[in-house]
Amino acid sequence: MHQIAILGFGTVGSGVAEAISCDQNRIQAALGTEICIKYILDLREFPDHPLGRLVTHDFNDILNDPEVELVAETMGGSHPAYDFSLACLKAGKSVVTSNKEVVASFGPELLEAARQNNVSYLFEASVGGGIPVIRPLINELSVHQVQRISGILNGTTNYILTSMQSHGKDFDSALSEAQKMGYAEANPSADVEGLDAARKIVILAAIAYGRLVSPKDIFCEGITQVKLADLKAAESLGGTIKLIATARQTEQGLLLLVAPHFVPNHSLLSHVEDVFNAVSVRTDVLGEAMFYGAGAGKLPTASAVEADILDIFGGRKANQAALVWERIGRSELTDPDSIRCSWFLSAGEKSCILIDKTREEAVTYGKSIQSGACFRVLD
């Protein structure tokens, strides 16, 4: 029997317990043994939950128990999640996590600690909720040259934009629905201002390019300025507006960007609705591949945590080369405003698309037609 502990019994942590319980027979068939949850760390009590008796408030119970082989960190936030994860790795316990904040900020240290202690640190659930996208990037696609990654990486904002466009809902009521369904971050400004998507794209870029940049250093615009009128204007020009996160290598350096984009109807990403996420990866050998699925929510995210647990207990080793990340700073990034691209200018009946312009040129033209806003066009 493999014994594990869950750190944090919120939406994702309780989902991990539920997924393991549902899948126990198939886990037994796959591993030849059961997975047993020995502890749940949380500040709260759960007297009415069947696993409430496993709750401890003392992290040392878990750290000092040699029977606990693996810890699922689903706490959220940087501290104490990072400190607990590091302590577990140093104590010879593997760690799996859904915590993008920790991976995006402390990935290099935690991966190094895992390596030194001959255990694993895996984080499939940190990007794209339940979509298996990190595993293919680390393993199957790792020998390819990744030319570009672009995706819809935040379920809350996609839910809001879809509700606004399809149901004419206003921003606040769409956000409060996403919160009720457990999609949004504890502080939803990380969703709507783009920081959550920024954390996720820096993780994908680190796997693809071996270099991790702080999410705070990348160009990041959220959706708070997107108006219903912009969505309607985009529709009239054969597209929609989506919050897109992109990473690609340019001659000037790594280009990382989170911003609302005009997405033409012929792009698959334009059809990704509600809480769904999608990641398009283009490599030299494969061409384009699209990963699509539920980007947030209890069981979808838990399924990705569970997959990491099964990989570790099943003895599947992640490709270590894709898990060596050098930190880089803002000066090594390409300034997105220096790149010429197509722009959608939202201006009611005068809305239009400009081709091959810098942002400055697009904004200048936009002023001449009283454009309310300009958005990059997804290429």
Query: What is d(CA 152, CA 90) in angstroms, rounded to the nearest whole number?
Result: 35
Residue 57 CB, nearest distance to ligand HSE (Å)? 26
| Comparison of 222 and 295: residue with beta carbon closer to ligand HSE | 295
Q: Please tell me the total number of residues recorded for the chain in this structure.
A: 379
Find, among 173, 178, 145, 186, the residue nearest to 159 by Cα: 178
Query: What is d(CA 268, CA 246) in angstroms, rounded to the nearest whole number?
Result: 15
- Asked if the peptide bond before residue 80 counts as cis, ω within 30 degrees of 0, the response is yes
| Comparison of 275 and 341: residue with beta carbon closer to ligand HSE | 275
CB atoms within 10 A of CB 254: 19
- Is 216 an annotated catalytic residue? no
Alpha-carbon dihedral 252, 255, 260, 266, rounded to 10 degrees = 90
| Comparison of 98 and 283: residue with beta carbon closer to ligand HSE | 98
Q: By the criterion CB under 6 A, which residues form the site for ligand HSE?
A: 129, 154-156, 183-185, 191, 196, 295-296
Residue 237 CB, nearest distance to ligand HSE (Å)? 27
| Comparison of 70 and 275: residue with beta carbon closer to ligand HSE | 275
Residue 156 CB, nearest distance to ligand HSE (Å)? 3
| Comparison of 184 and 254: residue with beta carbon closer to ligand HSE | 184
Residue 72 CB, nearest distance to ligand HSE (Å)? 16
Query: What is d(CA 22, CA 33) in angstroms, rounded to the nearest whole number?
Result: 15
DSSP secondary structure string, 265-310?
Answer: TTSGGGG--TTEEEEEEEETTTEEEEEEEE-SSHHHHHHHHHHHHH
Q: What is the CA radius of gyration of the chain?
A: 21
Residue 291 CB, nearest distance to ligand HSE (Å)? 15
Alpha-carbon dihedral 70, 76, 80, 81, rounded to 10 degrees = 30
Residue 259 CB, nearest distance to ligand HSE (Å)? 16
Q: Which two tokens stand for residue 145?
A: 């040259």
The phi, psi pair for 184, rounded to 5°, reads -80, 160
Catalytic residue among 200, 227, 298, 350: 200
Query: What is d(CA 141, CA 159) in angstroms, rounded to the nearest whole number?
Result: 29
Which residues lie across from 283 on neighbouring strands? 146, 287
| Comparison of 165 and 277: residue with beta carbon closer to ligand HSE | 277
Sheet holding 35-41, edge to edge: 55-56, 35-41, 2-7, 68-73, 94-97, 121-122
User: Tokens 């400009």, residue?
Assistant: 354
| Comparison of 8 and 129: residue with beta carbon closer to ligand HSE | 129
Which segments within the chain are labelled E, that is strand? 2-7, 35-41, 55-56, 68-73, 94-97, 121-122, 146-152, 211-213, 219-220, 239-250, 253-264, 276-283, 287-294, 326-328, 341-346, 352-357, 373-377
The residues that are catalytic are 200
